[in-house]
Structure 1
Amino acid sequence: MPVLPVHVLVLGGTTEARRLAESLAGDRHVRVTTSLAGRVSAPRLPPGDVRVGGFGGPDGLAAWVREHGVDALVDATHPFASTMSRNAAEAAAQAHVPLLALRRPGWVAQDGDRWHSAGSLAEAAGLLPALGERVFLTTGRMGLAAFAGAGLDELWFLVRSVDAPEPPCPARMEVLLDRGPFTLEGEREIIRHHRLDVLVTKDSGGDATAPKLTAAREARIPVVVVRRPPVPEGVPVARTPDEAVRWVRRLYAEGSGDAGASG
C-alpha cells in the first residue's frame, strides 16, 4: 500500500504532462516528479520536482522508480515517443507499479481535407514526389534523414522545429525555428509566402499545432499524415489531464497501488 503522499513520476515533455503536474502539485496527497528527456533547449518547466535526462533504458527507469519510492508512473510523452513508452511499460512491470498512458486524441479529417496516411516518415517521404514540390515539413528535427534520400533532391523543404536540426537533412531546405501554439493567420501566411504545395505532419493531435491543417484545407493542398504508434498492450489510456488526475486520486482514495483503466 502506498505511503501518503503518493509519489507520481510523470514522463513529460508535452502540454498535457505540464497540465497534469500543475493539477497534482496542488494536491497535498501527491508528490509529483516530472522527467524531461532534455532534447529541447530551454524547456518550460512544470511545478513540482523535475529531472532532466534519460534513464538508460527500462532497467534504469525501473531502478530509479524503486530508489525514489515512486508509487505510480504516468507516460505523458509525445504520442510518437514509442521507445520511451515501451520502456515505461517494461519498467512498470519490473518495479510492480501501476502505469497510465496520457494521450491526447488524434486529429480527424474534415470535409475538404486531402489527407494521405503514412505508417512512417520513410513512407511519408515516398509519397511526396507525386504530391508536390515545395514541402512544409512539420515533423520536428528528429528523423529528417528520411527526407534526405535519393529521389527527393528536386523537392524544396521548409522545416519547422523548436531547435536547429542536425544532418542528415534534405538537400534543399530552409529552417524555421518556432514553437507552438501557432495561429491560423500565421499558418496561412507561411503557406502563401513560401508557395508551399504539400504539408507533412505527424498525427500529434491537440490544438497547439492544428491550425496548419485548417490552413492546408483552405489552400487545397495535400497533407501527408504519419500515423501514431499504438500504446503498449495492456496499458490503460487517459485522453485528458483531468482523467489522469482522477486515476491518480483513486490510488490514494482506494489505498491501493492498483488503479483500473481510465476512460
Structure 2
Amino acid sequence: MPANLKCPVCSQLLQQLDNGAACTNNHRFDRARQGYLNLLPSHKMRSKHPGDDKQMVQARHRFLDSGCYQPVVDALSKATRTAVNGVEHPVILDAGCGEGYYTALLHDAFPQASVCGFDISKPAIHACCRRSKDIQWLVASVNDIPVTDNQVDVIISVFSRCDWKEFSRVLKPGGKVLVLAPGEQHLYALRQVIYEEVRPYPVDKLVSQLPEHFSLLEKGSVTGTMKLDSSELILDLLAMTPHYWHVKPSQKQQLSELTSLECGIDMKLYAIAYQPAES
C-alpha cells in the first residue's frame, strides 16, 4: 500500500485518482506518463531545473549499475533489515533518492514494505520510473516532504541533506533514519588526481548536531576498493560527486586520460532513532 501523501499547497490529505491525486481543496496533481507525481510546486523551487541534470543522472545510473558500490548496497540492506525488525508492513522513505538505485534494491529486498522515493530532480525521477513501476516516485523536496504525519518507519538518506524537522514530522515514534555520508578518505585517489592538496572530509559533524528527540544508535564504516577500468567509468564517478561542479577543464582532461584507477570507498553509516517526548 503506498504511503499517504499530503498536498504541497495546503497540507490536506491527497486522495489517489486514476490519473493523479487531489485534495479536498481541489488542488490537483496529474500523474506523469512515466508514473510519478510532481509535488514540488514551482513557487517552492529554488531554480528552474533543480537537482541533478540529465547528464549527471545518466552517469550515476551507469556507475551504480556497474556494481562498484556493492559494499554500500550490502551495508544499507543490513542496516535496513535491523531497522524494520519486528515491523510487519514497514514504510520506507528514500529522501533524495537520485535515480533510484538504492530505492529499487530495497523494494526488492523488502517485498512486505511500502517504499517511496523522492528527489527534486525531474530527470532523476524519470530514471527512477524506468527502474521500477512498482514504487511510489515523487518529485519533491526534503524541505517539504509530501507525506502525512507519523507514518514512516525508516528514512534513508544517501549523501543527501537531512531536514530533521520534516523527518520528525513524518516518522513514527521509534522510527529510524539511516544516513550514509563520506568518511575522511572517501574517493581519495580520485581527488588526488584533481587537486594539488587533498583534504580529508569532515566526519561526525552530523551526529554531533542531532536535534532533540534524535539519538545515535550505531555508527559503522563502509569500506572497499574499486578498480575502475575505463576513462568512462572514472568520469561517471566524478559526475556523481560535488567535485563535478568545481573541477576545471584541465583537471577533467587529466581524468579522461586515465584508463584505470584504483579508488577506495570510505563511508560512514549512521543509524539514528527518533523518540519524541511523551505528552
TM-score range, shorter chain: 0.3 to 0.5
Q: For the pair shown, which has the larger CA radius of gyration, 1 or 2?
A: 1
Q: TM-score, normalised by structure 2?
A: 0.34
Query: Which is bigger in relative contact order (C-alpha 8 A, separation at least 6)?
Result: 1
Q: TM-score, normalised by structure 1?
A: 0.36
